[in-house]
Amino acid sequence: MRSNIRIVSPAGRAALQYVQRRNFSSSLRCNAQWGFIGLGQMGYNMARNLQAKLPSSDTLRVYDINQESLNRFVDETKALSKGAAVQLASSVREAAEDSETTITVLPEPSHVKKVFGELLKPVLSTQRVANPDRLFIDCSTIDPASSREVASAVHSTNQGSFVDGPMSGGVVGATAGTLTFMVGAPDSLFPRVESILLMMGKKSLHCGAQGAGLSGKLANNYLLAINNIATAEAMNLGIKWGLDPKVLGNLINISTGKCWPSEVNNPVKGVVPASPANRDYSGGFGIGLMKKDLKLAIQAAGEAGARLELGDRAREVYESAEKREDCKGRDFSVVYRYLGGKE
Ligand code: NAD
C-alpha cells in the first residue's frame, strides 16, 4: 500500500517536475495535476470523489484556510491505495500554479474574489502549465456579475480559462457523487469541463456562455425559496382548518400545487417520512444558504432589470426566521415552525 500524501514544501516543490508533457487535446490525461480549493461541506466530499476517480498517476493538491478540514482530508486519504496522490498546499497559489485544472468551492462572492485576487497576482507561471490549458472551474454559488468579473480577470491577463459550474444536490449528493452541475462555458470547453464534473456528479447541463450556469442556478433557487414558504403557509392553513396533515400533503401532491417542497421536503412531520421535518429540521438545505441564494438572485434580477414582486418579502421571512434560536442553522423548511405551524 502506498501513502498518497505529500506535503508541498518549497524544497519539495522543486522536485515536482512533470514526468512528461501531456497531450491537452484529450479531456482527461495521465499524470495530470489538479488543484482543489475549499474543503467545506460540499467541497470536501466532492474532492473525495474526485480523488477516488482519478488515476494513481495524477496528483490532487488541496487547500483550505481551515486547517482542521485539511488534516481530516489527509487522515481519510492517507491509507487509500487507489486514486490520485494527495498533496497539501500552503496557499491558494500553491494549489493552482502547477495544476491544469483547479476547482473552487467557496461560500460567497467575496471569498471567490479574494481567492482569485491572490491567485492571479503576480501572474501565474507558465513553466509547467501553458495558459490555454489552465482551467478554473468555480462551483461556488455566487452572482453572475461577480463571476464574470473574476472570469475577466483570468482572461484579460491570459492566465487560462474560467468557467462557472454551480451545483444542486446538497451534501447528500456531494457525498454520493450524484450532484447536478449547471455550466457556463464556451462550447469548445464544455466537453472537458463535463468530463471533470461527472467525476463528482451524475448530470451536467450546459446553460450557455460563462455566467449562464449561475443565472440558471439562481433562477431555480429563487423559485425554490418562494415555493418553500408557500408550501409551509398552505400546510399550516389547511391544518388550522382541521385537515389531517397527511391527507392534505397527499392532496397537494396529486394536484396543481405539487412542488419539490411539498413532495420531497414537506415541512410537516409525518407527511414525507424522509424529510428534515422528521428530525427536528436537521441536515438538508440550511436556511442561511437559502437566504444567501435569494439575496444573490434579487441582486442579479436588479442588474438585469427583471421585476420581482415576492423576492423582498421572502427574504424578510428567511432573515427573521434565521434570527430565532429554534430555527437557526436548520433546514429551510423550518419556515413552517416560524409561521407557528402545529408540530
Ligand atoms: P462551507 O462554508 O461549508 O465551505 C466553504 C469552505 O471554503 C470552508 O471550508 C472555508 O474554510 C473555505 N474557505 C473560505 N475562504 C477561503 C479561502 N480564502 N481560501 C481557501 N478556503 C476558503 O460551504 P458549502 O456548504 O461547502 O458551500 C460551498 C458553496 O456551494 C456555496 O457557494 C454554497 O452556496 C454552494 N452550495 C451549497 C450546498 C449545500 O447544501 N451546502 C448546495 C448547493 C450549493
pLDDT above 90 for 265: yes
* Ligand 1 midpoint to CA 140 (Å): 7
What pLDDT, in 10s, does the model give residues 305-326?
A: 999 999 999 999 999 999 999 9
* Ligand 1 midpoint to CA 343 (Å): 32
Q: Are residues 21 and 93 in the same domain?
A: yes
CATH number, position 16: 3.40.50.720
Last residue in a domain, options 161, 176, 210: 210
Last residue in a domain, options 210, 232, 253: 210
Q: Are residues 150 and 288 in the same domain?
A: no
Determine the pLDDT at residue 2.
44
CATH number, position 249: 1.10.1040.10
Point out the residues that are catalytic: 217
Q: Are residues 118 and 267 in the same domain?
A: no
Q: Are residues 181 and 315 in the same domain?
A: no
Q: Is the C-beta atom of 146 inside 6 A of ligand 1? A: no
* Ligand 1 midpoint to CA 86 (Å): 20
Determine the pLDDT at residue 11.
29
Determine the pLDDT at residue 30.
62
Determine the pLDDT at residue 127.
86
Last residue in a domain, options 169, 190, 210: 210
Q: Which of residues 279 and 16 earns the better pLDDT score?
A: 279
Atom from ligand 1 closest to the CA of residue 168: 43
Q: Is the C-beta atom of 36 inside 6 A of ligand 1? A: no
What pLDDT, in 10s, does the model give residues 188-238?
A: 999 999 999 999 999 999 999 999 999 999 999 999 999 999 999 999 999
Q: What is the mean pLDDT of residues 92-108?
A: 96
Between 212-240 and 144-156, two packed helices, what is the crossing angle to 10 degrees? 160
pLDDT above 70 for 257: yes
Q: Is the C-beta atom of 107 inside 6 A of ligand 1? A: yes
Q: H/E/C letters for each residue in 112-152?
A: HHHHHHHHHCCCCCCCCCCHHHCEEEECCCCCHHHHHHHHH
CA distances from 302 to 139, 190, 305, 309 (A): 23, 29, 5, 12
The rounded mean pLDDT for the chain is 91
Q: Which residues pair with 85 in a beta bridge?
A: 59
Q: Are residues 196 and 263 in the same domain?
A: no
Which of 44, 48, 167, 289 is the best mutation target for the ligand 1 pocket, counting ligand atoms within 8 Å of the beta carbon and taking the most?
A: 289
Domain count, the chain: 2
Q: Which of 192, 216, 197 is nearest to 144 (CA)?
A: 216
Atom from ligand 1 closest to the CA of residue 69: 9
Share above pLDDT 70 across residues of the chain, in percent, rounded to a whole number: 91
Q: Are residues 44 and 173 in the same domain?
A: yes
Q: Are residues 230 and 84 in the same domain?
A: no
pLDDT above 80 for 20: no
Q: Are residues 50 and 144 in the same domain?
A: yes
Q: Output the pTM of the full model.
A: 0.89
Determine the pLDDT at residue 259.
97
Share above pLDDT 90 across residues of the chain, in percent, rounded to a whole number: 85
What pLDDT, in 10s, does the model give residues 107-148?
A: 999 999 999 999 999 999 988 898 889 999 999 999 999 999
**Structural domain that includes position 267:** 216-338
Atom from ligand 1 closest to the CA of residue 115: 18
Q: Is the C-beta atom of 89 inside 6 A of ligand 1? A: no
Q: Are residues 317 and 261 in the same domain?
A: yes
In a domain, residue 303? The reply is: yes
